[in-house]
Structure 1
Amino acid sequence: MLDNVTRRDAMRTTAAAAFGGAMITESTIAEQPRDTREDLNSTDVIEAPSGAQIGDVVEDRALIWSRASEPARMFLHLSTEQDFSEKRTIRGPTALADSNYTATMDIEGLPRGEEIYYRVTFESLRNPGTRSDPVGGSFRTPPTDRTDIRFVWGGDVAGQGWGIDPDFGGMRTFESMRETDPDFFIHSGDAIYADGPLEERVELDDGSVWQNVVTEAMSDVADTLAEFRGNYRYNLRDDHYRAFVSEVPMIPQWDDHEILNNWYPNEKLPADDPHDVKSVNLLAARGQQAFLDYMPIRPRDDVDDAIYQNFPYGPSLEVFRLDMRSYRGPNTENTQTESGPKTDFLGDTQMSWLKDALSESEATWKIIAADMPIGLVVTDGDKYEAVANADSGIPKGREIEIKELLSFMQSENIRNVVWVTADVHYTAAHHYHPKRASFSEFDPFWEFVSGPLHAGTFGPNELDDTFGPTVVFEKSPPEGEANLPPSDGFQFFGQVDVDGQSDVLTVTLKDMNNDSLYTKELTPVNC
């Protein structure tokens, strides 16, 4: 029984929307199937067309998101019983046009380490008594004691012209991830491709045709808030994606394609760019609003719109979500020898938070969820988009910030740190060691790359030797081939398992069919 569920102000709805009064009685909302309710007719139907999502689960808190088809009030049913024989019903926020009819509830007081079943319904504001059929699922809250933990990660969805093809079976990697029954999912960014419109037909090399479902929002680059929002709605049309996010709590990140390729703050687009809006700051503001409307994410209370956060999962594991996009300087040649505004990547405030959070963590394993890799060279024309600058020498440019972080972790005896990321559209395992690096003030660590989840496949990228990485495993397209469609099979995700008794952490890189490609078992180092 959920004895201590409390309510918090609704997020990402209108300023006046709140959870309202106390828990309401079960009779307030009828739950019989729509076709048995005499008060409805064919013109009085309200729906929750995008299903439901869970996200940013922290200790006893969880975000539950859904979307109505018209102005409506959200109601949430919670239970620890699958048949909802005992449940609580919470009166939630209104879903209005200002939020594109999305609504999110931030629930506290959930029992720890248990399966929580939930259902969302909407009641029409225009036609009181008209209610939607329920949507929902279940999820596990983080444990308080030592227990087995599993999570999956990956990024890059509906990119490079590869959208939903029903004949292919839609976004099949999400079904494979769902079958692993993970406790949570780290979405490593590029959740949409707002700068990548879709064509209805794409002819493949073997003579077959990839047939995209194309919506109005996906037919051009996103300039308006409505177009950005439409990109998120597009992914939620896919049955596999919708089922996955309704059952697996998400830790969402963003990278560049939530706005446009390789963007950075204060950038101005050239006159021949296909966007009507040339101010990247304006595009980013609209894209960020859509991201907050449609992803189950809880911005920080202490820093406006900041999404970097830590997520403890019992004594064995803690995740640290980074934002490598919002606080960066411009993309440059990345060869500065001293830190400054042009070398910023995490930025001072986020870096201070990360150092403090890592120092305070009592978890055996610290998972740094980065939306970009450290040692892989990612270019932006003749400039650099990520950390590495391809010179393999002493840390310069954005590498200075990473050097500072790695040296801090060594000096503070912060051990058992593993990095997970995506971005480069192939999968790999990298081991970093000071004996191979241009400086030695850090401890060896692993970085695992996975993706795309449903996008074009590329790679492999050049590896910069500054931090002493070596490629232990890599799977990418055959040499000379690029932007392979999902139907070619080069779609990847990562899986991490922590043994609750031994604290051994096992990373498995998998393909879209849930087949294991590479496995690495890591034993924790005593601090």
Structure 2
Amino acid sequence: MTGLSAASVAVGVSAPASSDATPGRPIPSGAFGLGVASGDPRPDGFVLWTRLAPTPLAADGHGGMRAEHVPVQYEVAEDSSFKRVVRRGLAIATPELAHAVHPEVRGLRPEREYFYRFRVGTEVSPVGRTKTLPVHGSRFSFATASCQAWYHGYFPAYRDIASRAPDAVFFLGDYIYEYGIVAGGNLWREGVTVGPEHGVEIETLEQYRLRYSLFKTDPDLQAAHATAPWLNVWDDHEVQNNYGADNSIYGIPPELFVHRRAVAYRAFYENLPIGLGSLPEGPDTQVYQRYDVGTLARINLLDNRQYRDPVPVDEADRQSESRTILGSKQEQWLYDGLRRSPATWNVLAGGVVLTAITDDRIEQWDGYPANRRRLLAELQQAGNAVMLTGDIHRHVASELKADFADPASPTIGVELVCSSIGSDGDGADTDQYAKDWLQHPYVKFYNARRGYVHTTLTRSELTAEFVNFPYIEADANAVPHVVAAFRSPVDAPRLEAL
């Protein structure tokens, strides 16, 4: 294979054609214990992912692998029996990246279903399903998910997502949590135990790797990864609760906190199906990305953590016109993309809620009102705006106003907030925070149980189903319930109950 960069070989994207596909020594059975995944979908391809880990919960964070390079073969086919293979390749799994590989497959046909698998030695992975994006597009379905504290409960939401086989899954942050997991404390998932290595707040690269491994051992999470391509952004717990840029709220000096951010960002890349363009350089990486679903939808993934201004010191600071949650470069990138959008729907996907709720919610966009005003003005011009967020462990359906301070101002779009997959345990239909949200006429729905949102876009309307589960702590067998559904007509953005 010609034209390969050393970086492509080193980070598990590709290998030279002359590479030997046979491992230097036998690989232990169960090498694909963390499953398979795809992501970063484009009209001509996608990124594939797996991580070799025959002992996923080895306390040292290395997954039972030796410190050596291992060749990993992959195949992409038009059928699940692999009779029509359209791509084959080889990637090198290195200990430097926890033996993860991220082969980037291109040259495929748009809006097509494909199947893939990996092989190392005699070990063969589970089969994954994925899809390319359309060139034009008339219908696109996706699930939104966030906040999956493994220790708080099981993941029946992912089982239901897998059964629907959507065109994509948007994960909106808090894939892992950094807290120590303690029996009799925050370990609410019944029938499981964890070793003492999980009982401390994670700080090192090996600890972050192990935490991803723990969460990714969930079979329903693996099933959802193997069913559709994922588009991933982070929020705070992939690093530390409520951090922003170089600032820890727990007193870690910025010159030290950047080291923690660097290892956390490395582990994020290692464990998710994201492209080489998001490979971290120390404490910096670009996860904001743009995807065009033909001319049906322009999707903008946002990073609400890496570039945000610090917590405001007072109300004057909070109201400062220069204040930003996106950072100037990302903000300009977003606005340029909205102004040039050819799409019917303009979709934003980020970690924290945009809708105005209360001024003291400074971790959300309520802490950045000037940046919100700038964004709302751009969304009003772009038209048919859809904001997808998570973070709050609650389902919320809200209309976006041109000016949240003026209830009579035009409705310019909708925000669909997905509840958590697992965080906060079983939850309830309502709770003490409901009044903060439902006091606003633009908030149309609130529910505090666990679940996800399933959304479909067409040329004429958006439809969204809010799915929840009566319990998650006891087991993974809870039956899904669609607790609310809405439509939003094209060119008349509002929420109409179905």
Aligned residues: 460
After TM superposition, give the deviation of residue 296 of structure 1 in Å.
1.1
The CA deviation at 1:45 is 4.1
Does residue 511 of the first structure (1) align with residue 468 of the second (2)? Answer: yes
Residue number in structure 2 paired with 1:162: 152
What residue is the counterpart of 1:326 in the other structure? 306
Q: Is the 8 A contact 1:255 1:324 kept in 2?
A: yes
Rounded to whole Å, the distance in 1 between the matches of 2:35 and 2:482 is 30
Partner of 1:474: 446
98-107 or 212-221: bigger deviation? 212-221
Structure 2: any 5+ residue segments left out of the alignment?
A: 54-64, 470-478, 494-498
Residue 99 of structure 1 corresponds to 97
CA shift in 2, pair 1:315/1:348, >3 Å:
same
In 2, distance between residues paired with 1:187 and 1:136?
A: 21
1:222 aligns with 2:235: no
Matching residue's letter, 1:354: L
- CA deviation digits over 1:104-154, x for unaligned, max 9? 1111112111110111112xxxxxxx3322333111211223332210002
SS state of the match for residue 103, structure 2? strand
Matched with 1:198 is 181
- Tell me the distance in 2 between the aligned counterparts of 1:444 and 1:289: 38
Select the residue among 398, 401, 414 that pairs with 2:382: 414
The two structures have a TM-score, normalised by structure 1, of 0.78
1:183-207 Cα deviation digits (max 9, x unpaired) = 100101001001x222235699xxx
Tell me: CA distance 1:269–1:68, structure 2 relative to 1, closer, same or farther (3 Å).
same
AA partner of residue 134 (structure 2): P
**In structure 2, what is the equivalent of residue 484 of structure 1?**
none
Aligned residues of 1:463 and 1:469 also touching (Cα < 8 A): no
Match of 2:128 in 1: 137
- State the SS of the aligned residue for 1:354: helix
Assess if the C-alpha contact under 8 Å between 1:308 and 1:320 holds in 2: yes
Task: Give the whole-Å Cα distance in 1 for the aligned partners of 2:128 and 2:285.
Answer: 28
Equivalent residue for 1:424?
A: 392
- Alpha-carbon displacement from aligned partner over 1:332-378 (angstroms, at most 9, x marks no partner): 245434333xx220011001110111122211111110210023558
- Equivalences for residues 114-193 of structure 1 within 5 A: 114-122=112-120, 130-158=121-149, 161-162=151-152, 170-193=154-177
Cα distance in 2, alignment partners of residues 418 and 154 from structure 1: 16
Identity of aligned residues (%): 19
Residues 497/279 of structure 1: CA separation in 2 closer, same or farther (3 Å cut):
same
Q: Which has the larger radius of gyration?
A: 1
Look up the match of 1:126. Answer: none
SS in 1 for 2:290: strand
Q: Matched residue of 2:105: which SS?
A: strand
How far apart are the structure 1 equivalents of 2:400 and 2:82?
A: 49
- The 5-angstrom pairing of residues 308-387 of structure 1 reads 308-332=288-312, 333=314, 335-336=316-317, 337-340=319-322, 343-375=323-355, 377=357, 384-387=362-365
In structure 2, the residue corresponding to 1:135 is in which secondary structure? coil
Q: Is the Cα–Cα contact under 8 Å of residues 223 and 283 in structure 1 kept in the other structure? A: yes
Give the direction of change, closer, same or farther, for the CA distance of 1:221–1:462 in structure 2 (3 Å limit). Answer: farther
Pairwise CA distance, 1:22: 8.3
For 1:471, the aligned partner's letter is V
**Equivalent position of 1:81 in the other structure:** 79
Picking from 107, 110, 123, the partner of 1:109 is: 107
Distance 1:213 1:292 in 2: 27
Verify the 8 A CA contact 1:493 1:510 in the aligned structure 2: yes
Instruction: Mark the CA change 1:176 to 1:46 in structure 2 (over 3 Å): closer, same or farther.
Output: closer
- Give the corresponding residue for 1:21: 17
Aligned to 2:489: 523
Structure 1: runs of 5+ lacking an equivalent: 31-38, 123-129, 164-169, 390-397, 477-489
Structure 2 Cα separation of the partners of residues 142 and 323 of structure 1 = 22
Query: Residue 409 of structure 1: CA displacement?
Result: 3.3
Tell me if 1:49 matches 2:33: yes
**Is residue 355–residue 415 contact of structure 2 (8 Å, CA) maintained in 1?**
no
Structure 1 residues 325 and 10, CA, compared in 2 at 3 Å: closer, same or farther? farther
Give CA deviations for 1:450-478 in whole Å, capped at 9, x if unaligned.
12111114763675899x762211112xx
Contact map agreement 2:467 2:483 (CA 8 A) in 1: yes
TM-score (norm 2): 0.82
Partner of 1:358, secondary structure, is: helix
2:433 maps to 460
The answer to whether the Cα contact below 8 Å between 2:73 and 2:89 also exists between their aligned partners in 1 is yes
- Aligned partner of 1:36 in structure 2 is none
Aligned-pair CA distance for 1:46? 6.6
Q: Distance in 1 between matches of 2:105 and 2:240?
A: 33
Instruction: Indicate how the Cα distance of structure 1 residues 148 and 226 shifts in structure 2: closer, same or farther if over 3 A, else same.
Output: same
Q: Distance in 2 between matches of 1:241 and 1:18?
A: 26
Q: 1:88 to 1:428 in 2, by over 3 A?
A: same
